[in-house]
Structure 1
């Protein structure tokens, strides 16, 4: 998974579990950048009567580095939520159809504030008491969900647009195969049982997440607020990651079913590149990784340089990856992709380098325009607007990273290496089988409805 339940402690705290981060130049508005952070993994659409919602006690932040460093972020967008109760006499989430996000029939509305930090200037409040949409309960409770979601897209100060609420899970992966010792269904069948064929099974099919999305002008993110126009200029590159934090002290109030939080906030979850903490960081260090900033990621570089999965593939598939098995050098290709960005000259006409400092951030070159014909394999397939140049919802990050780990990207930094034939087509065989992505903000699809969804299938949006 990208970062769903990826560490022991955060798996117990789903409202603070950051599942995916996206950063891309908006295809329908190329003067702007869209940043998305998803939370609360594996949402069953039928999960009432206490449906999923953001945590009032969680500090959600999307952070940007525009200086090539990864210590204190240069730009931060902070989101704080508050939940109301309109009817204290009912157990129901709604007491009638919800046709507007202001309807009194919605018992438990959520609101949020957005503040922005800029290094050297401090904090500025951009908006307060913005309404979230309800979850997609079903056709009687939320009869026109697309309308409700559209009402929760808010235009705020500075040419920015925000949304916070439930969306369809856009990350797809065959969980059953990946964590069954890499038993990739299409690959396993093709190589071990030539007469058989099998597609991947999307383990997130029919499930939802909660998304925080903000679309801002490019100049909101650059150092000095200049317009990025030169792909070769490292000042056009930003690093993006998201965090969730909780206050240090929690006191349970006896007999009241409540808790009081106090003290400074401490980070409990973070995410930059997909799958970093999930499949690279050792189990014993995953909770530590979630609690520190990317400026400390040099300590984890050893696991990128010698990833465990690269060593397992030749063992799991004997004779299929002989060249990978014989390659004993540190993986300079993976260190560039995940920890420094790709320097100029490695990929013709492209770079997203932020310097030698090793830090897990999504690196996005803002001067690269959106692709006219996006390729889900991204930069590896020649689409410079795709992962690992930022990340778009359509990017198949599982296939991209499987191929990279299997050696397909080694020739970028070591032309003497010839990848194994299998590495270029490695995939888990899945695609997005949930409601389709949108062409406009907030881009992620309409969440599956509780009434419409049979577990394990993609849900309708009616």
Structure 2
């Protein structure tokens, strides 16, 4: 289910929804001169967690030269929640420093308010625009149909669910002159004096289909630059089993998703797997891939509550209206 519940046994990593990355998006803003990057966390918010984790580092990584290593990284660090709500600071790292999971020394935004109601809090730093808070979950899928041998129910399992969204918009030039970038997100948490990677990803629905339960925590801790070496053989075996692929065809397909970095050529319209818009039908794309073309759709379309302006994610559903599921 996209990247929701990406720990073992369909649970959040570390059994903590605050550390659970759900989706990553990269697309061009309506102005066409600005890039939008979104990472969502905390599935079924706020039923499993009411705030961002104050000991976590939430991060969006950007590869600008095609070597599968971060060249620009934006990190988001949240205050402990209190009576006044919660605040967030935005840090940026460049070059080799972007490859560390720690927040960068350059702080772009300090102590911006986090939104826990329908009105998004928006902060700016120069030409960068930022927002963090509870929003409607844009992911759409017939999850009940998927887990019951593809007997479709016609029900969008995420239609009334919320997530915590982290949204950045910036001029294209902020991410370099090369229109081709690679994007992935990571959630780490400080434990016993160390920063521990709990979740990471970019492409939707990889760990759910490809990783065994005992491999998920290791996957979440690793670097995408090593994905081809680490997962080519195991994931080839999965495609041979689920889709009847030969080895050569399996390798060709896996090159689209390994390393687990969302490539986006900004000189072309965003449409998954070239970036990812909020309306892209990634569930059908993944079903088609893993089934070898036998299953092409789950018959569920995008949500109609998306915004045509920043922060793009729809207003959150009223607390209590969304039934906890998963």
TM-score by length of 2: 0.89
Separation in 2, partners of 1:128, 1:363:
30
Separation in 2, partners of 1:213, 1:154:
10
What does 1:1-400 align with in structure 2 at a 5 Å threshold?
1-8=1-8, 10=13, 12-26=15-29, 28-43=30-45, 47=47, 52-71=50-69, 73-86=70-83, 108-119=84-95, 123-135=105-117, 145=118, 148-149=119-120, 152-157=121-126, 159-180=127-148, 182-185=149-152, 199-222=153-176, 226=177, 235-249=178-192, 263-298=193-228, 299-308=230-239, 311-312=241-242, 325=244, 327=246, 329-339=248-258, 359-368=259-268, 370=269, 385-400=270-285
Separation in 1, partners of 2:81, 2:7:
31
1:455 to 303, 323, 326: 323
Tell me, which stretches of 5 or more residues in structure 2 are unaligned? 98-103
Deviation digits for residues 63-100 of structure 1 (CA, Å, limit 9, x no counterpart):
011121224x11000101113533xxxxxxxxxxxxxx
Change (3 A) 1:454 1:132: closer
Count how many residue pairs are aligned between Structure 1 and Structure 2.
315
User: After the TM superposition, which segments of 4 or more aligned residues of structure 1 sit over 6 Å from their partners?
Assistant: none
Which residue matches 1:415? none
Q: Which has the larger radius of gyration?
A: 1
Separation in 2, partners of 1:306, 1:447:
40
Separation in 2, partners of 1:171, 1:11:
22
Separation in 2, partners of 1:338, 1:53:
31
Separation in 2, partners of 1:454, 1:366:
35
Deviation digits for residues 253-283 of structure 1 (CA, Å, limit 9, x no counterpart):
xxxxxxxxxx131211101111111211222
Q: CA deviation at 1:246?
A: 1.1
Which residue matches 2:297? 427
Q: CA deviation at 1:328?
A: 5.7
Separation in 1, partners of 2:246, 2:190:
46
Deviation digits for residues 348-381 of structure 1 (CA, Å, limit 9, x no counterpart):
xxxxxxxxxxx2100000211x4xxxxxxxxxxx
SS at match of 2:53: coil
Change (3 A) 1:124 1:398: same
2:306 to 437, 446, 452: 437
Tell me, which stretches of 5 or more residues in structure 1 are unaligned? 87-107, 136-144, 186-198, 227-234, 250-262, 313-323, 340-358, 371-384, 409-421, 458-462
SS at match of 1:288: helix
Separation in 2, partners of 1:11, 1:431:
32
Which residue matches 1:446? 315
Contact persistence 1:184–1:200 (CA under 8 A): no
Larger fraction in strand: 2
Q: CA deviation at 1:327?
A: 4.6
Q: RMSD of aligned C-alpha atoms?
A: 2.3
Separation in 2, partners of 1:366, 1:286:
31
TM-score by length of 1: 0.64
Change (3 A) 1:456 1:245: closer
Which residue matches 1:417? none
Q: CA deviation at 1:51?
A: 6.4
